[in-house]
Amino acid sequence: MNRLKQLHKVQELVYELKIRDAAVREVFTMSPDTMMTQVRQMLRGQKITAAPVIENGTLLGIVSVEDYINWLQEGADDCPVSERMSRDLVTMYDDEPMVFAIQNFEKYRYYEFPVINRKSGKLEGIITKFDVLVALLKALDIDYYKMEIGQYDGTHFFNDVSADQSRLEFAYSVPKAGIGAGGEVASKLKRNLGYLGIHPNIIRRVAIATYEAEMNLVIYGGGGTIRANLDGSCIRIEVADEGPGIEDIDAVLEPGYSTAPAWVRELGFGAGMGFSNIQNSAQELDITSAVGKGTRLDIVIPLEES
């Protein structure tokens, strides 16, 4: 990422991220009847310079080192912090964009702001400049990670690994009622092949064949398994179910032949094109089936375009 893009990303993030993404939730608090004489030790023990004063979760004020020093200077009697704390507070809501916090740091020059949960009205945490910075860094890191994955290039995987024979297997099981999953296995497989730098045209073929096979498993097979095996030259997809089997294999290969029930057709499936779509995407399609026992497809797609 060049610097300008990085800056834009940060700008986007300060609007995208919410205060709650940065606010520290575990906050050291004091009760209103904590005595001023205890304040120094408590703040020191926590290595902090101020603490929110709360009662039943509701923020009453903040007592800071400054309040303590003022109290000392005046030589006033010991009293509960509720009498000396600052009540005039600038607070932020947890659901506000982080950019508001940055603006407030700029405007008020405070070190921290209490964060209030908008729904409950209770203290949720505090936010400091440091928290903002950490939240941004974390978000950027995640984005970098996403980018790296997106750019991961495994094109040379099979050239790089050394073995007499090497192959990679992606195995999936397809649940029975998966028509609503929308070809989940096909999309996962598509993504994996993308990581490996396989040519987009080949990926499309694999995705189409897998998608149609997956729909068959869901609609007819009662679920099943899909295993995709890659070696340096081709991808072999094995699709198996223990469903009712196919009575007439030649017939299912005919475009337009369908045994689909009405509900399947209403969803735009069962047009009798599944197998011909698989056949058109693949170099080889082998169907073995026994009625009452199940069906197995062996699909071969070469990794080089013919």
Partner 1 sequence: MKLEDIVRKLDLEVTSGEKNLDREVTRGYASDLMSDVIANAEKNDISVTLQTHLNTVAVASMKELAGIVLINGRRPEQETLKRAVQEAMPILVSPLSAFEVVGRLYGFGITGMKG
Q: Interface residues with partner 1 (CB under 8 A)?
A: 179-183, 186-187, 190, 200, 204, 207-208, 211-212, 215, 267-269, 271-274, 276-277, 280
Given a contact cutoff of 8 angstroms between Cβ atoms, the answer to whether 170 and 236 are in contact is no
CB of 276 to partner 1, least distance (A): 7
The smaller minimum CB distance to partner 1, of residues 19 and 226, is found at: 226
CB of 143 to partner 1, least distance (A): 16
CB of 267 to partner 1, least distance (A): 6
CB of 274 to partner 1, least distance (A): 6
The smaller minimum CB distance to partner 1, of residues 200 and 232, is found at: 200
The smaller minimum CB distance to partner 1, of residues 100 and 170, is found at: 170
The smaller minimum CB distance to partner 1, of residues 114 and 178, is found at: 178
CB of 260 to partner 1, least distance (A): 10
The smaller minimum CB distance to partner 1, of residues 114 and 183, is found at: 183
